[in-house]
Structure 1
Amino acid sequence: MSISQTSSVSPGALWTGRVLSAIIVLFMIFDGAIKLPPLDIVTQTMVPLGWPADPNVARMLGIIGLISTALYALPRTSVLGAILLTAYMGGAIATKVRVDSPLFSHTLFGVYLGIILWGGLYLRDARVRALIPFSR
């Protein structure tokens, strides 16, 4: 028995999920794209976080983020993309904890993105709703 990707959710909830997912995709495209060229502002803001001011490190992080985002945006691989983006954000959270960034504005930003990411996927994908049944 196959679960249709949009079964048992209202059109409003489906569109809310799509909008939430689009917010994540657009943010992550911006985040990844600014890491690809050797921008001095990107590499210099990495230094206080404990990362080297190396354009290749920034580029690697950008590529990882963009690939994970592409996987998240494609319906067939959206769950894998969500898992990879969650790991990516976990690394960002760990970095912020290590440098003692402000909790609610900086450190938990990755948590906020993760909630939006999984909330959007939950609303637009019946497979995820079947895996995580909040109500029956």
Structure 2
Amino acid sequence: MTTIAVPAGTRTSRSVVAGRVITALTTLFLAFDAATHLVRERHAVAFNDEIGAPDWFPVLCGAVMAVLLVAYHVRRTAVLGAILLTAYLGGATAVNIATGQPWGNVAFSVATGVAVWAGLWPRDERARTIL
């Protein structure tokens, strides 16, 4: 059996496909979350009321998330988008902890942040060189 040498630093097509699948799933979730905030879906508004945020806050959060998702998918700004998505999700984690939400909510926001990087890592050389 013959083996083919793969140069160091290159990714196999399987890892790139895995990165794209993770990115797609993460994007679907975050886009859905952004949309629920933008249209002021009742659960988003109820949580907003629970934490005492102003009425405009869910719409702003949804708009920020939508812009960050676009940045995450534009090749030139993908790393910046991932950094800013991680920061956004860090804020969500902090709000969940500060308002006494179930630890599952906290873990989910952290896991989503990890998924953002897990999707970008295999498909973007710049992401790998940064870290």
Q: CA deviation at 1:42?
A: 2.2
Q: Which residue of 1 aligns with 2:58?
A: 58
Is 2:48–2:57's contact at 8 Å kept on the other side of the alignment? no
Q: CA deviation at 1:14?
A: 0.4
Q: CA deviation at 1:36?
A: 1.3
Structure 1: segments with no counterpart, 5+ residues: 1-6
Q: Which residue of 2 aligns with 1:116?
A: 115
* Greater gyration radius: 2
Q: CA deviation at 1:77?
A: 0.8
1:48 aligns with 2:47: no
Normalised to the residue count of structure 1, the TM-score between the two structures is 0.83
Query: What is the distance in 2 between the residues matched to 1:113 and 1:87?
Result: 12
Q: Which residue of 2 aligns with 1:12?
A: 14
Q: Which residue of 2 aligns with 1:125?
A: 124
Query: What is the distance in 2 between the residues matched to 1:130 and 1:98?
Result: 34
Query: Residue type of the partner of 1:11?
Result: S
Query: What is the distance in 1 between the residues matched to 2:40 and 2:99?
Result: 24
1:70 aligns with 2:70: yes
Aligned residues, how many?
123
Is 1:101–1:107's contact at 8 Å kept on the other side of the alignment? yes
Query: What is the distance in 2 between the residues matched to 1:40 and 1:33?
Result: 12
Which stretches of structure 1, 4 residues or more, deviate above 3 A after TM superposition?
38-41
Normalised to the residue count of structure 2, the TM-score between the two structures is 0.86
Q: What is the percent sequence identity of the aligned residues?
A: 34
Structure 2: segments with no counterpart, 5+ residues: 1-8
Q: How does 1:81-100 map to 2 (within 5 A)?
A: 81-100=81-100
**Cα gap change, 1:128/1:39 in structure 2, threshold over 3 Å: closer, same or farther?**
closer
